[in-house]
Structure 1
Amino acid sequence: MWRVWLLLVTLLGAAGAQEGKVGPQKKPSPQNAPSGAPPGAKNPCESPVLDVTPKPPPTAVLDRESASNLARSMSRLLAHQQERSAQDRAGALAPSAAALAKKVIDENNGIHAVGVGLPQINLGLLHFRHHVVIFQNNNTAYLEHYWKALALSWNHTSGVWVPPFLECNPHSTEIWLHGFAIALTVEKQRAVAGIFRPLRLDQCDSMMAKLFGGPHRCDEETTKCVSEEGRGFRRAGYRCECRDGFYNPGAPPSWRGFPGEIVELDPNDVHRCTACPEQCNTCNSAGKCGVQRDPLVRGALLATQAACMLITVMMAAIVFKQRKCKTIASGMWTILETILLGTFLLYSTVVVRFFEPSVEQCLVEPWFRELGFVVCYGAIILKLYRHLIEFRTRKAHRWVVKDVDLLKYLLAMVVAVLCYLAAFTASSLNFIREQYKLVRTEETSSGQLFLACKPLWWDYVTEAGEMLILVFGIHLSYASRNAFTQFQERRFLCAAICVEAIVSGVFYVLRAFYVTTLHPDYMYLAYFVRSQLTSTVVILLIFTPKLWYQHKQVRSLAQEFSCRLPVDAFRAGEAGALTADGDVAELNLADMNPEDIRAELKRLYTQLEVLRNKTLRADNPHISKRRGGRKVAHRRFSLQKKGSREKVRRLVSLP
């Protein structure tokens, strides 16, 4: 059968096809050749194939998959028609092949034609977007390369990319095509299929120089050729842009390169770019260098910041696991988790600043900063407020602030900040729509250029708001200076607020003076140091004492218990006078593990706490018996009629 296929291919120049019922078609004469043919070609059908094959198009994977599926489907259909004659099989499979080819065209945009070949039964089919051509005993000249492309892939198992060729269809405009063809065998039946697409003409591609009568004329040393689509076979469909390390002196900011029309006017006039100074790789039209960022330093800072974020997540897991311990429970574990969440968001601002400045970065960074600030330091201020309320003087009864109430207050603060950030983002987007730029070019003190987010008045208002919140937190710390808190919690909370106020205040002042002249790497380092001096210090001040007190208290009490009550003190007959619990005599501290000792101590702490509370409430006229120690809002008393008291006295005085 392969001999039949080769014979059919050799008869391609004869003429005659069938489109539905297609009659013979006339071969186009040289004088009727398309006007857009390559220069120097009298008849575009005489030498329509390029000598080299360009690189596959962006749709290469999709074309390969579509052609393989089509060839596989036709092989299966051919295997099911083995008992019939070749002519009957061709007549039965032609509609199916046309339907499958049409489905491929409909599912993929940009396909010019789909070809199917079954040489065993003398069947070849080309499905264009608007008509179908079925190969029978002869062929027209403009279809020659389609059949050659299908025949070329017959002996290849992995398919071939067809060299670009010019379609010489006299009934349509000329078009250069290239495609992919593959032949597959299924159930001992072989079929070939091909996908053909229009060739993207690019004068900058040296492989297509033949189509344009020669290569482009950009200076290869200082410029690079950039193709412009939609130019067809016309020359000068490109522009020459300066390479990295070169610039065009005096060019406006909107300059995109030397147009191809100007370059093609005078072949002897070479349009070149000027080399940038030696210390930089990129520069602008004035010859000023761009900033070179240090990837190693920035990467090391980013890795350290990521490690801090990971430690924060681990701390959150530890707090949740130890939430019933006294040191954690006394500090409200929900508020502690909230502080860690805010710290994590504050750490994220340094991660966002690692990337190149853009509009998205300028809009996203304030969200992480302000949300993290209000969640972290808002929770700290609410804890100070609770200490102030619970330990107020000049009050005979005790006020109780529930954990749920504090979370409600914090939620209100977060909602307020969300509304503020939404207004900031909406106004910024409106400015962008009105051609207002959020990113501008800055210049360092050494003359290097870099991109940075443009400072806005919103930033100054936000910084002032942060400082006011911190000042209010310091005021609460001072107001509750006489309050007694467990594990010195108030002192560490006040220290965290003061550290944030001092570091952020100094940072904002220095940034206002040096933000426009400082190197981006130094600015990134400043943000990193500010994050470590605030967020990391907050974690150390709040959580380290709690974990230390917990570890120290359990260890010291366990040692004291072991020293005061040796093992011999629990012998039978001697411990009866010490306790009424019969199980104590059987205790042996040498056989108990630390977990058992910790459990016993925890039970002892609980009993002592209950005993202390009962002792304080017993016969205490200042503490109400109601839950929480709240006094009744008012007292009920009865009003007596005027003169009733005198009547009672008279009755009592009567004998």
Structure 2
Amino acid sequence: MLLCGRGIVWAVGVIALVCGMPRPVGAGTASQEMDSVETKEQVLREVSQMSTGNLGTICMSEPFYRFAWAPLQVSRFDSARQKADLLVRILRDLDDLSDTSLVERMVQGLLASDGRISAARVLLRETASSAPGRMRLVLTHRLVSPYTPTEPTPQVVTTTPKASVVSSKPWYIGESETSRNATRFQKHNISGSIGWWTFPYFQCKSRRWLLSYAVPILTQTTSNRGRRTTMRDVGMLSVDVDVTSLDINQCDRKSDKATPDSQISYFHGTHKCDRNSSVCVFSPGHGWVQGGYKCKCKTEYFPKDKTFNGSLVEVAWEGKQVKNPTYEMLYVCRSCPKDCPNCTSDKPCVAHYNWPFRIALLTISSLCMVFTFVLMGMVYHYRSVKVFRLASPTFLCICLIGCAIMYLEMAAIFPKLDMYSCVATKWTRHLGFCVTFSSLLMKTWRVSLTYRVTSAHKIKLTDKQLLQWLTPILLIVLVYLGAWTLSATPGTDVITDYGGLKFKQCTYDWWDHSLAMGEVLFLMWGVKVCFSVRKAESFFDEAKYISWAVYNIAVVNIVMVSFHLLILPKAGPDIKYLLGFLRTQLSTSTTVLLIFGPKFYRIVQGTGDQYDNRARAKGVTASFSLNGLGVMNDEPADLSQENEELKEEIQKLAAQMEFMKIVHMEMNNRHLKPKPGGYFSEKNSVMNTAQSPGAKTVHPPTTKTSEASNENSSARLSPAAELASERV
């Protein structure tokens, strides 16, 4: 009879597996196919139907519905297991287990204190010849916790002969299942455990989910005159634990966290949230039902913080299988635009970068930077020409190096700003300004010193001395920028433009403000120096062009700061890049044109070695530097050019001596008649005599008669004197 029952159970299990139905407890070991998502979802649908009251034909044939592959974590019920094991050990020592009153008191005393246990039963094995091996139900005790006095009084139910067969119950342990190879129960390697836990099952009458712990009652018998001891199975104890309050968790398993005891972890990963755009968030308190979760959109998707009810998602998922678009339209989050992780719509939130426009501006700046290096080569090539030699080629090259560094700022702010580009921006902007501005002011300051000297002592400042003043200035800036980069590395801030679009901008803190104040003071000092030399005479008017360049740098920086902070504080990235380009071109390129344009113009005209008319009128040469005129460098003079200048000076002195000689020789020769309209005519005689270097000393005007005689005598100068005067 027992074999027949097993065959029926095995056949039912095979049919359930083929038809896709849950398999009963006696169907064998669960395979990998049973643990698949499809199988779990099928079991989950059955569980949800029973929990919601949609039983159908499930409870018509049997009062229980069992699941052979939905194990629970029974470690949470260790207290109930330990009490049941203790009760079984006590029952083993009793002589008469049929005393129901004694068994009831023991069950009530040991098990009622555990609120998780809802019922307990004791079964004894029949020894009569009419039904050998069958279990007889001695009592069924519905436990009442001493903390819940409102429950009904427990009843002791004694079995009748018709109800003596209980092998179909989910908590029944057959005679051959007292070993650890039992397949109808969950296998748990629990230390000290002498029984087995069943798989969860549904009790149709009470509509509750239960989990039973069954323990065989074994007694020790001695036979063959005490030489052989055997264990005899005389009955079993079964306790029911109510697990209806547990919640099914369909969300993905978190590897870093253990599943709480109040959740059923078997159905992990069966949620229907869109895995690409949303995450599953478990909702406690729903019980054994499907859809006890919420789908929340990820940070890169919108609507932001939107959640979808899991029950509705499950229904829409079923419709998706029959080509219903509801799931895709309502329960799938939309991807945010690029670089907008916290978007609320599909509108872009990041400012657009006009890359062709930025590339064009960067190309122009790069060509300007290359042009500065070409100018450095040309300055070195024409270093012996006066227009460059007197302007200190060393400082001209330093100025061009500073201009090239300032052009590099356009490459630093070209891409989308990050920490590295911001560091490069700070270095190129401030270091380039310091190098260019310092080299120009050193030359202007030298002119200012020589121009303000009132004594006959000549001041001579060579390029080497000026470099000794320039080096500490550059060293201070380098130390400041290095400390800034290492201690408080410049980063980026996210700002918005007038359209609400975000983009990154380099941060501005007290490091920026301190350096900006220093540059403003340095610029003010430069303007003061340039203003003080506005009337100074210099070779090729270089001081004037340097002053114009300094004024231009001051005005351009003030205007651009006003645009950035006051006029267009929320301009987009392309507008800010354009403003940076204009600032670089108006300050740097204009400086290059003002300083080097006139010099190369003279080279093209072939007048690079010729002074202007004012310097020539004052008799200034390359070998002699007068106060307020020109600058001196420490390069050796060109001897051939200096010889030509000396010859020119000698010729001028010879002409003046010849003029004075002729004037004194012909002054008293009255027989010489002056040329009409000539230099010694009567009309100009008085003026010429007064201008003559020796006229006043030779013929001092004492009386009117002498003045008239002097006029008549001077009027009769020979034409040779007039010719000499014209040579001068």
Q: TM-score if structure 2 supplies the norm length?
A: 0.42
Q: Relative contact order (alpha carbons < 8 A, sep ≥ 6): 1 or 2 greater?
A: 1
Q: TM-score if structure 1 supplies the norm length?
A: 0.46
Q: Which has the larger radius of gyration?
A: 2
